Structure 1
Amino acid sequence: MARWRVLAACDNDPAVANTYRANHPKTKFVSGDISDDATIDDLAMKVGGEHVDLMIICAPCQPFSSQNRVRAEDRRKQLIVRALAAVERLEPTAIFFENVPGLASAAYRSILDAVKARLSQLGYALSEPMVRDAADYGVPQRRRRCIMFAAKSQAAVNAFVSRDVRVPPRTVKHAIGNLPPLLSGEADACDILHRARVHQPIAIERLMNIPCDGGSRSSLPLRLELKCHVGRKSSFSDVYGRMAWSGPAPTLTTGCTDITRGRFAHPTQHRAITLREAARLQSFPDKYIFTGNVSEIATQIGNAVPPEMVRAFSPAFRAALKAAASA
């Protein structure tokens, strides 16, 4: 974020660690589970006794996703609670939590109550969960997220909540409309991430029969329908769907370059979007370096918090810190 100095960062995914280090070589990075004592010790050592103004916690989102079918068995849902051990150790002035909107549902109230109770023991006030759409904060994508803000004074929490500055949405065309066109399997010689998937002839024929600019598989003739979808046009309707030029993209996932995983077909070209297009729709600048194989990069892009969304919250962070200093 502009004019913010990152003291340290942490993630337990090796591919994410490599990507972060490639883009921020001067920032200290810890590879490990934020809930483990050894990781917290390493993080504290790298912070080196400096005061932490703001800590951002983004626990794995899959446990709280509407697409998760094994919630009761997923221990990762407790990670957001266990991560508070790092808060206890580093004592930041404020904490920003980000996750999928499912975290705000009644199904996870017990987890939120546990977070609130532990933060209260540590001297923090916590906002109610707020569901916000990244499209309202400069991101060319509909991406609803649950956010919460904690600080050592209620005045700071109130300052953050009240400073909700939104901007006009950006469109798919604004984000990717100037990229070179590609056919299935083609690649841009100047951009390693702008490479189209190789689609089977039947997939290309299906796309050719789906209207450009927002069309869906409901337009397919019977002979081209997927066998598993015959007679079920309303189910999984986004599969093989095209994005529309004039609005934000749908929510990107880790399968965002696969037309069988959602509305991830290019608005007019007969192919899925490329990694470059996905990165732009997540508001990553072209200069941002992604490391790893195609699958790892797609996962990094699909799981990322859009940089522009976080940037848009910067004035609210500053307002909260100012209020905290005056409390």
Structure 2
Amino acid sequence: MDKSFAPIAVDLFCGCGGVTEGLKQAGFTVIAAVDNNSICYKTYILNHPNVTFFNKDIRKTSAQSIKKLLCGQKLDLLVVCAPCQPFSRLNKSVKPDERVYLILQSIRFARVLRPQYIFFENVPGLSKNNIVMDTLKGGLEKLGYVLTSPVVVDAADYEVPQRRARCIIVASQKKVDPFILPPPVTPNGNRKTVRQTIADLPEAPIGENFEDPLHFSRKHSSKALERLRHISHDGGSRNELPASLVLACHKKLEDAGEPKHYCDVYGRMRWDSVSPTLTTGCTDITKGRYAHPCKDRAITLREAALLQTFPLTYKFSGTPGEVAMQIGNAVPVNLVKNLAGAFLPKGEK
């Protein structure tokens, strides 16, 4: 494709740039990105220095300022990956969360930018929030957009070595072709595996790694290492621990006759399967099945980034905890790359 005529996209709630990376790989030119997180901003501009970044609250970001960047050209795609925490089943808080309404800012941007398509990506719980969904649909329909019904896809079907259920909704102008979800690139039985993704990496040193600052092993406690040594390679779980090593909180629940809780804690990934869903705790063995398939350690930040399909050369800014947060919150690059082709003008796919 002639890059001088590449379709144009804008990335709202861009985080550390996973969506932008996927769009660029699919052939889009991303002209603007918006996110209020200053650490994500530093990571984003390290990797996408030619994109105009608005490091501010989406509610205080001017749609007109972005429109000026178009210089009279049409906007092909507006991507909206609003914070998913308010809609997540893992969010047990009963307190009101104002972030639940941030997705509705897309209506304001659509009114000014008039994109051909608007692509929404979030957790499946989004579709269950009737107030937000009805307001979103009503607002966009008044602007002349037609919305698809929410569809839940597994990122593993789109070349991502990870189970990750995502809700996809697309709004399109009535004059353009309706969005048709691309078929799976890696359907069940042909999925990209943990082995294919991280097995060829060099050994991760404990602490600092001067060759790759993201590929280092955490300093686990002696008790954590002892637990890991009792858990079999390639998919073992904490159910294999002797009674003396069972965590007190788990033992208390089991003694009370409660069902197994957090069974993936201290669990190992399987080499020839996809990884579990990566969260912001993706390098912490106490947060899920984030132990390396055969090494007595958690996966490294670089391994986590590769499982989210970031390129090996992708740079991250921040402390290890801040980097894990960015990786866990990111949209997998390959998911975007493989879905974005459906928005390309015919003849450019």
Show CA shifts across 1:67-119 (max 9, x none): 112255101001111232111111101110000111123xx122111111001
Aligned partner of 1:77 among 75, 78, 100: 100
Match of 1:245 in 2: 271
Deviation at 1:34, TM superposition (A): 2.1
Answer yes or no: is 1:7 the counterpart of 2:31: yes
Deviates more, 1:19-28 or 1:135-144: 19-28
> Which whole-Å CA distance do the structure 1 matches of 2:225 and 2:311 have between them?
30
Q: Which residues of 2 match residues 140-179 of structure 1 at below 5 A?
A: 140-153=161-174, 156-157=177-178, 160-167=179-186, 168-179=190-201
> Which whole-Å CA distance do the structure 2 matches of 1:130 and 1:244 have between them?
28
Match of 2:51 in 1: 27
> Which whole-Å CA distance do the structure 1 matches of 2:290 and 2:248 have between them?
20
- Specify the SS of the correspondent of 2:152: strand
Q: Which residues of 2 match residues 99-110 of structure 1 at below 5 A?
A: 99-105=122-128, 108-110=129-131
TM-score (norm 1): 0.91
> Which whole-Å CA distance do the structure 2 matches of 1:294 and 1:5 have between them?
30
Match of 1:208 in 2: 229
TM-score (norm 2): 0.86
Preserved CA contact (<8 Å) 2:181 2:339: no
Match of 1:122 in 2: 143
Paired residues in the alignment total: 315
Q: Which residues of 2 match residues 61-72 of structure 1 at below 5 A?
A: 61-70=84-93, 72=95
Deviates more, 1:46-55 or 1:208-217: 46-55
> Which whole-Å CA distance do the structure 1 matches of 2:217 and 2:62 have between them?
39
Deviation at 1:267, TM superposition (A): 0.6
Match of 1:60 in 2: 83
Amino acid across the alignment from 1:172: V
Amino acid across the alignment from 1:317: F
Amino acid across the alignment from 1:8: A
Deviation at 1:259, TM superposition (A): 0.6
Answer yes or no: is 1:297 the counterpart of 2:323: yes
Runs of 4+ in 1 over 3 A off after TM superposition: 45-49, 186-189
> Which whole-Å CA distance do the structure 1 matches of 2:204 and 2:52 have between them?
39
Deviation at 1:44, TM superposition (A): 2.8
- Specify the SS of the correspondent of 1:191: coil
> Which whole-Å CA distance do the structure 2 matches of 1:41 and 1:154 have between them?
23
| Identical pairs, percent | 45
Amino acid across the alignment from 2:307: L
Preserved CA contact (<8 Å) 2:271 2:293: yes
Preserved CA contact (<8 Å) 1:13 1:31: yes
Match of 1:96 in 2: 119
> Which whole-Å CA distance do the structure 2 matches of 1:9 and 1:48 have between them?
16
- Specify the SS of the correspondent of 2:141: helix
Aligned partner of 1:199 among 211, 220, 236: 220
Deviation at 1:233, TM superposition (A): 6.8
RMSD: 1.8
Deviation at 1:180, TM superposition (A): 1.9
Show CA shifts across 1:44-84 (max 9, x none): 33344432100100000100001112255101001111232
Preserved CA contact (<8 Å) 1:99 1:145: yes
> Which whole-Å CA distance do the structure 1 matches of 2:239 and 2:246 have between them?
9
Deviates more, 1:27-36 or 1:285-294: 27-36
- Specify the SS of the correspondent of 2:34: strand
